[in-house]
Amino acid sequence: MRFLRSFTRVSDLPHVHAEIALVGRSNVGKSSLINAVAQRKSLAKTSKSPGATRLLNAFEVGVADSGRWLMDLPGYGFARVSKAEQKRWAVLLNEYIQERENLVSILLLIDAEVGPTALDLQTLAWLEHLDRRICFVATKADKVRPAKSAKRRADLSQKLGVDKSEILWVSAGKGIGIAELRARISELLGTQS
């Protein structure tokens, strides 16, 4: 996987063969997950403070010019940026999800320990309304104590309204579920993993 470039506008995006986007609240671990999948430390910019990703960042999966893209997007629900900036990101995200052709699936990232938040559920309802295919990913699984894991899994699936088997548990930090996620991405994009 390689970084291609950042885009500020949806209308600047070229036509590609197939694309997957990572959607989730700020700080949920979208960029970290891209790095884990790519087995690179800082391919995508990550940060302790939310709001690290501000643009539509395109990564290419598979061979050069494969036309199979993975998009890292700005997160939602980050209160510490100005209202104007928050609005700009929301508009950008809305536009992207609504208009992007060849978007074969959205990886909806939910914090395994915290989520789903009200905003996560709102986003989910909206994605379902738009008829987008969703792949659920619970992030930072390493933060969930083993004793609580079964309860958290049941709770997450109940709140998201999907079967437990439909949620992929991952940890970019500890490498949990990454091979599985990589395989899922390859399958969705039609590339060799």
Q: How, if at all, do strands 68-72 and 18-24 pair? A: parallel
Please state the closest distance from residue 21 (CB atom) to Mg ion, in A. Answer: 12
> Is residue 52 part of the contact set for Mg ion (CB under 5 A)?
yes
Window contacting ligand GTP (CB under 6 A); options: 93-101, 126-134, 166-174, 185-193 = 166-174
> Is residue 50 part of the contact set for ligand GTP (CB under 6 A)?
yes
Please state the closest distance from residue 5 (CB atom) to ligand GTP, in A. Answer: 17
The phi, psi pair for 37, rounded to 5°, reads: -65, -40
> Is residue 53 part of the contact set for Mg ion (CB under 5 A)?
yes
CA-CA distance, 172 to 88, in Å (whole number)?
28
Q: Which of 62, 75, 115, 177 lies at the binding interface for ligand GTP (CB under 6 A)?
A: 75
Q: Which two tokens stand for residue 135?
A: 């792949």
| Near ligand GTP in 14-43, by CB under 6 A | 24, 26-32
| Near Mg ion in 89-148, by CB under 5 A | none
CA-CA distance, 107 to 132, in Å (whole number)?
10
| Near ligand GTP in 102-161, by CB under 6 A | 139-140, 142-143
CB 71 within 8 A of CB 185: no
Q: Where are the beta strands (DSSP E) in the chain?
A: 2-7, 18-24, 56-60, 68-72, 103-111, 134-139, 167-169
Residue showing tokens 């893209």: 69
Q: Which of 1, 20, 38, 52 lies at the binding interface for ligand GTP (CB under 6 A)?
A: 52
Q: Which two tokens stand for residue 191?
A: 């590339």
Given CA atoms 158, 159, 164, 169 in this order, what sign does their dihedral have? Answer: negative
Which of Mg ion, ligand GTP, none sits in contact with 62, Cβ below 5 to 8 A by type? none
> Is residue 94 part of the contact set for ligand GTP (CB under 6 A)?
no
The three-class DSSP label of residue 66 is coil
Window contacting Mg ion (CB under 5 A); options: 27-35, 56-64, 142-150, 161-169 = 27-35
Residue nearest to ligand GTP (CB): 75
Residues that bind ligand GTP (CB under 6 A): 24, 26-32, 46-48, 50-53, 74-75, 139-140, 142-143, 171-173
